[in-house]
Amino acid sequence: MNASPGLRVLTQTEHSIRDHAVHPDAWKVLRRLHQAGHTAYLVGGTVRDLYLGRVPKDFDVATTAKPNEIKRLFRNAFMIGRRFRLAHIKFYDSVIEVATFRQETDRFEEPSPETGEARAIRIYGTPEEDARRRDFTINGLFYDPFRAHVIDYVGGLVDMEKRIVRTIAPPDASYEEDPARMIRAVRAAARLGFAIEADTGEAIIRHREAILRCPKARLLEELMILLKYNSAERSLRLLWNFGLMEYILPMHHAYLLRRNNLPLHPPNQDVLFDLVSMLDLESAAPDPSVIFSLILFPFVLERLDLAPKLFWSHKSTSAVITAVESIFDEFSKSVDISKRFRGRALEILTAQPRLVLRGSNIRPDKLAQKPYFLDSFMFFKIASRAVDFDTQSDIAFWEKHKPKSQPPRHAAGGDPSAAVRPEPHGAPPPGRRRHRRRRHRGRPPPGPAQNQTATQ
C-alpha cells in the first residue's frame, strides 16, 4: 500500500503487531492525545521491537501536539531537554516519552566548547520529516495504533528483512552530527543479531576517533546500555572489530593486545569474553556496579598475579582494595565513573572470599543483610561460572539465606541507576516533604511577655 514515493504502509493483515503487545500506560497516552485531536504514533525502537516480536525496552510516542499542549493534557508530565523539549509521562511503574514531530534542518547552533559538536536547530515538522532525521532506517518506523498501520518512509522494513543496520542520512554526515551513533549502531547490531551495512560500517572505521568528542558521562550511559541487555559479548567484539574499543575502552583494548597479540580480531577464548558471555545469560539486568566489577575483574587478577580460580582464596583484602582503586583511577580517564559505582564495586570484590564457605567461620545471616550482598552474590554466580570454578554447594547455601530484596543502599553504593538514567527535570524529590506551619492571619506574633507567660 503506497500513497507517496518512498512511503510503505503495512495494514493489520500484513504484520503481527497486536494491541495487547502495547503497554497499557502507552495506550493511555496515545488515546488522550488522539481524543484531543492530535496525531500520535509509537516510534523508533518501540516499533522495531514490536514488529520483530520482541518486548520493547521503552515505549516512545511522537505526536503533532506541541510541548505546552502535552503539558496541559498530562498532569504527570515532566518536561526535559533544552534544545528540544520532551515530555516524560510518569506512571506508577513506567515512563512514556512523548516528543513533537520535528524535522532536520541546515541551521546549526555555534559549536559546543565542550564537545565541538555543531547541533542542528530543531523545528517542528511532519511525520515524514521526523522519520528522515532519525539515526537508522530500522528506527525510523511509525505505528498508528488506531488504524493498526506500520508506516515506513525510510526503507526500514526492507532493512529488517535483510537484517542490516543502515544510517538514514549518509553515514559520514550522520556520525559527524552525533558520534554516539557509532555506538548505537553496534548496540543495535549486537542486540538484534543484525549485520552493519557495508557503508555504515566503513564510516565507523573512518570516524571512530570522533567518539572522543562525546562527554565522558554520555559514554558511560551508552556503555551501560550496550552491556546490560544480554548482548555484552557481541557488543565488545563489534567494538573491537570496528576500532571503537581503542577509544571507548582503551584499557581493554591494550589488555587484549597484551595477552593475545591479535591486532585485527579478538580471541575466541579469554576470561574477559567468558565473563560477559555469562553476564548475557542473566534474565534480569544486573546493577551497573556488577557490570563494572565483571569487566574490570580481569585487571584485578592481572594486578594480583592470580589465576582466576585462586581469587576466592586470596586472603589480602588490602591488596584487593589497592588493585581496585588503581584500576578505577585508570578506567575513569576514559569513562566518567562516580564514587558510588566505585564504592559498590569495591564492596562486591572484597566480599568474594566470604562467599566461599569451605573452612570459613562466616555468619551467613549477618553477611546476607549487608546492603551489597545481592550484588556481590550475583557477581559470585556469574564470575565463578565464567572461570569454571565449582561453587554449586556455596550458591545453593546462599540461595537459602539471601534476602528477598536488596536492603537500602548506603552512600558507598548509592543508586547507580540514577547516574545512568537521570530523573526528569522537575520530578519531585524523594522522601517526605516538610510542610511549613500555617500562620494565623490577624493574630499578632507572640511578644516577649506572652512567651514568658507561656513558659510559666
What was the pLDDT predicted at 259? 79
What was the pLDDT predicted at 429? 43
User: Cβ(327)–Cβ(303) under 8 Å?
Assistant: yes
What was the pLDDT predicted at 112? 56
What was the pLDDT predicted at 363? 80
What was the pLDDT predicted at 85? 83
What was the pLDDT predicted at 204? 97
Task: Look up the CATH architecture of domain 1-162.
Answer: 2-Layer Sandwich (3.30)
pTM for the complete prediction?
Answer: 0.80
**DSSP state at residue 281:** T
Residues 77-91 have pLDDT tens digits of: 999 877 678 999 999
Residues 153-212 have pLDDT tens digits of: 999 999 999 999 999 999 999 999 999 999 999 999 999 999 999 999 999 999 999 999
What was the pLDDT predicted at 334? 87
Q: In the chain, which residues have pLDDT < 70?
A: 1-5, 83, 105-122, 261-269, 358-361, 405-456
Q: If DSSP codes are grouped into helix, strand and coil, which group holds residue 21? A: helix
Instruction: Name the superfamily (CATH) of residues 215-422.
Output: cca-adding enzyme, domain 2 (1.10.3090.10)
Whole-angstrom distance, CA of residue 275 vs CA of residue 265: 18
DSSP string, 220-265: HHHHHHHHHSS-HHHHHHHHHHTT-HHHHSHHHHHHHHHHH--SSS
Q: Where are the domains positioned within the chain? A: 1-162, 215-422
User: Nearest 5 degrees, angle CA 435-CA 73-CA 102?
Assistant: 120
